[in-house]
């Protein structure tokens, strides 16, 4: 793992090989002692530290990152995300949150926010109603145009906050993997992900219940978020909330999403809908419905789980080939 390169060593007075190693660094910040892990370059010849261009910079960044992590303080990226989600500039954001006009500008330049201000920023990121409250509170300071723009953006993202964290992460990863996806295809994908995850690992991936709508299983809260796209691919800047969050998923969770996107992903939402129309969980939940009739009947998770457990006895759903065989068998019945 140690990369070997050469650098001039002042002790040896010549170019020598060096290695990078991790060392701990004790540092006192605001009267509190911290231990950070930083990188150090060491001469392979004399074991003395050598000076590598850029290493000090990257260590400073690393200390900043670890400090924010230890203290639960928002990152610069979080602040940019906040501006993107609520379509608001630095100065009006600063004023809306009740800070001084240039506070956010200073944070973006690298100054570390106090815990108190950081918590306010995080709350705004985690709740649109909190943000709307702040906007209303400081409406006079930020000006009408900025206020209206941010208010509209806050209303637009509101439904996203009804989603569970796992659902958000799952959708984030699907967006990352799938080139283009319609709300209908996304719904069906989520259904298969939940079903296959439950069959393989025994527990639900996300807590949301899905309902047996006329067009197949639908997660209502997810429907609310994307309904404006109708039959078009989802594409919107406000989904900054979904960007690059998928790293927080476990390997098993990612594995199942990979499996589903790599197998079901090649079919249109309409075909996926037809597949679900032939499966017990949706059929059972619509026992008392006419075809095409509106229904909000919940498809019990147990029903989905036992269906996919049964599928798992015939097909190896722990790999994409097995799932493709299952899909082929289903397509023949459509
Ligand atoms: Zn040396």
Measured in angstroms, how far is the CA atom of residue 4 from the centroid of ligand 1?
14
Residues 142-166 have pLDDT tens digits of: 999 999 999 999 998 888 888 998 9
Measured in angstroms, how far is the CA atom of residue 41 from the centroid of ligand 1?
11
Measured in angstroms, how far is the CA atom of residue 246 from the centroid of ligand 1?
43
Residues 101-137 have pLDDT tens digits of: 999 999 999 999 999 999 999 999 888 999 999 999 9
Measured in angstroms, how far is the CA atom of residue 26 from the centroid of ligand 1?
25
**Three-state SS for 69?**
helix
Count of structural domains within the chain: 3
- 244 in a structural domain: no
CATH of the domain at 32: 3.10.20
Last residue of a domain, one of 47, 71, 95: 71
Same domain, yes or no, for 274 and 203?
yes
CB atoms within 10 A of CB 154: 23
- Residue 289 or 303, more confident: 303
Measured in angstroms, how far is the CA atom of residue 58 from the centroid of ligand 1?
22
User: Measured between alpha carbons, how far is 158 from 253 in angstroms, rounded to an integer?
Assistant: 26
Residues of the domain holding 216: 163-239+250-331
This prediction's pTM: 0.74
Measured in angstroms, how far is the CA atom of residue 37 from the centroid of ligand 1?
23
- 184 in a structural domain: yes
- In sequence order, the 6+-apart residues with CB closer than 8 A to the CB of 331 are 271, 275
Q: For the chain, give the percent of residues with pLDDT over 70.
A: 96
Same domain, yes or no, for 201 and 311?
yes
Last residue of a domain, one of 45, 71, 97: 71
């Amino acid at each position: 793992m140690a990369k070997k390169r050469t650098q001039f060593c002042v002790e040896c007075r010549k170019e020598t090989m060096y290695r990078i190693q991790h060392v701990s660094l004790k540092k006192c910040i605001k009267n509190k002692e911290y231990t950070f892990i930083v990188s150090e370059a060491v001469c392979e010849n004399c074991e003395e530290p050598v000076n590598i261009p850029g290493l000090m910079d990257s260590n400073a960044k690393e200390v900043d990152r670890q400090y924010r992590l230890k203290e639960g303080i928002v990152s610069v990226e979080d602040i940019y995300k906040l501006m993107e989600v609520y379509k608001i500039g630095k100065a009006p954001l600063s004023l809306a949150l009740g800070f001084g006009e240039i506070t956010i500008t200073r944070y973006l330049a690298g100054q570390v926010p106090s815990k108190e201000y950081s918590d306010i920023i995080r709350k705004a990121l985690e709740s649109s109603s909190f943000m709307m409250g702040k906007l209303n509170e400081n409406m006079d300071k930020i000006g009408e145009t900025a206020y209206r723009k941010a208010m509209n953006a806050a209303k637009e993202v509101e439904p996203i906050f009804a989603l569970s964290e796992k659902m958000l992460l799952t959708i984030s990863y699907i967006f990352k993997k799938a080139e283009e996806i319609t709300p209908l295809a996304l719904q069906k994908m989520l259904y298969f992900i939940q079903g296959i995850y439950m069959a393989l690992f025994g527990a639900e991936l996300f807590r949301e219940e899905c309902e047996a709508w006329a067009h197949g299983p639908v997660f209502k809260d997810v429907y609310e978020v994307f309904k404006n796209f109708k039959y078009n691919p989802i594409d919107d800047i406000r989904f900054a909330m979904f960007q690059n969050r998928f790293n927080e998923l476990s390997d098993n969770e990612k594995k199942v999403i990979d499996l589903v996107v790599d197998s079901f992903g090649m079919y249109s939402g309409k075909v996926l809908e037809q597949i679900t129309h032939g499966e017990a969980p949706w059929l059972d939940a619509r026992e008392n419905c006419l075809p095409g009739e509106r229904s909000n009947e919940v498809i019990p998770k147990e029903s989905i789980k036992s269906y996919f457990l049964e599928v798992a006895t015939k097909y190896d759903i722990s790999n994409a080939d097995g799932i493709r065989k299952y899909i082929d068998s289903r397509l023949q019945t459509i």
